[in-house]
Structure 1
Amino acid sequence: MCEPFISNHQFNDIKKQAGILEHAIRTNADPKVLESVRYSAESKISELFPDASDNQKQMLETIFKLRTADDFQKHLKALEPYLVEFPQISAKQILKLFPKNKKLKLPDLLAIDFRYITYLSWVDISTNKLFIVYQLNGQFVGIEGKYTPTNKKSFCFLCNRYEELALFTAISKKRPAHTTPDYYKAVGNYLCMNGHECNKNLTDVSALIKFIETVIG
């Protein structure tokens, strides 16, 4: 049995490609169109795992031989044991990431299935703040900012899906040279109100990493 090797966002991308392929099969797409869809899906999934072993490649390539919706669902279910969990983190570690928040409200870590998250996030309603924890270059980093529901739907800057959004505004720690003591720069963007749904949709971490690096400086 292979060791876990599929990150949450990669699994989401596999599900996305599987859905596109299953839809093409179900709608009786022209054979040439179907072949093009299969090739596109195969290429995109292969790009996710450039260093995959032969066993891993064989496991992933099974998807291109499937025919029915039930087959696709069974295959995706069979991949779940190979999901890499979000790195184990304790309440104490989280508190250290946000030292200025003496009364920080923590998420219920025991209620989270860490296989299905790329980043950890939670909202403290009492302070209208959103907290995000991510492992960047092997180290946990935490960012916090003002959380403002927008009561509207649009595209999340993290997962690029059409969802209910909130405006997340954080203060950048990067300070240009020769700035005044009261200088600050706010960095804001619109993201899913529901972090759980965002993690289910996320297929690329580049926007998340760029935002975090902009905030932490």
Structure 2
Amino acid sequence: MCGPFIRNHQYNDIKKQAGNLQHALRTIADRKVLESVRQGTAAKIAELFPDASSLQKQMLEDIVTLETSEDFHKYLRTLEPHIVEFPHITEKQIQKLFPKNKKLKIPNLSEIDRRYVTYLSWIDISTNKLFIVYHLDGQFVGVEGKYTPTNKKSYCFVCNKYEDLALFSAISKKRPAKASADYYKAVGNYLCMHGHECNKNITDVSSLENFINTVIG
């Protein structure tokens, strides 16, 4: 029995690699070159799962046998039951992450497909604030900050895709040893305006985790 072992960002990366291989199959005629691309694709996917079991490895390596668009669709559908859901969290737990926000507006958690979530996020339009909830090192962490749409497209620091962006600016909890009482440091970066699109695109969590660690101290 092979249970869930693929995180959302890893599934997105597999989709990306599958797309690259499909493109190669459509545009490259040389069979030796194609075989090299197939093996390279399988190796990149294997690198995402250094601790995979033999059964998990076999499932992932099936990508080298794919030929048609339908083959690729079936392959990705086969992996979907093995996606790890974002950990269950309640409204009460979220409220505890943002104790200063007494009237915190929380999205309907029951409507979220947690398989395709790397981080939860929502915007409070009344306060122009963005809230992020992430599961880091075995526990939930929350980050809130000012949300300012930029009305332009560029690369999101979280998913590195070319999307409509907003500036997200949060106050870091890190303080120098001899900082004055009124010391504060804002940490800002540009990210996708729409969190669900970012969750579809993200293939690496390192930038997100670095940002969160900078804010929470």
Q: Which amino acid is the alignment partner of residue 89 of structure 1?
A: I
Note if 1:188 corresponds to 2:178: no
2:64 aligns to what SS in structure 1? helix
Identity %: 74
1:103 is aligned to 103
After superposition, residues 141-180 of structure 1 pair within 5 angstroms as: 141-180=141-180
1:45 is aligned to 45
1:187 aligns to what SS in structure 2? strand
In 2, the alpha carbon distance for the partners of 1:88 and 1:187 equals 28
In 1, the alpha carbon distance for the partners of 2:186 and 2:4 equals 38
* 1:48 to partner: Cα distance: 0.6
2:92 is aligned to 92
1:54-76 Cα shifts (integer Å, max 9, x gaps): 11011000111100111101110
1:96 aligns to what SS in structure 2? helix
* CA RMSD across the alignment: 0.9
* 1:153 to partner: Cα distance: 0.4
In 1, the alpha carbon distance for the partners of 2:78 and 2:39 equals 22
2:3 aligns to what SS in structure 1? coil
Tell me the number of residue pairs that the alignment of Structure 1 and Structure 2 aligns: 217
2:208 is aligned to 208
Decide whether aligned partners of structure 1 residues 47 and 150 sit closer, same or farther in structure 2, where only a CA change above 3 A counts. same
Note if 1:3 corresponds to 2:3: yes
Task: List runs of 5+ in structure 1 lacking aligned partners.
Answer: none
* 1:28 to partner: Cα distance: 3.2
* 1:29 to partner: Cα distance: 4.2
Task: List runs of 5+ in structure 2 lacking aligned partners.
Answer: none
TM-score scaled by length of structure 2: 0.98
* 1:148 to partner: Cα distance: 0.3
TM-score scaled by length of structure 1: 0.98
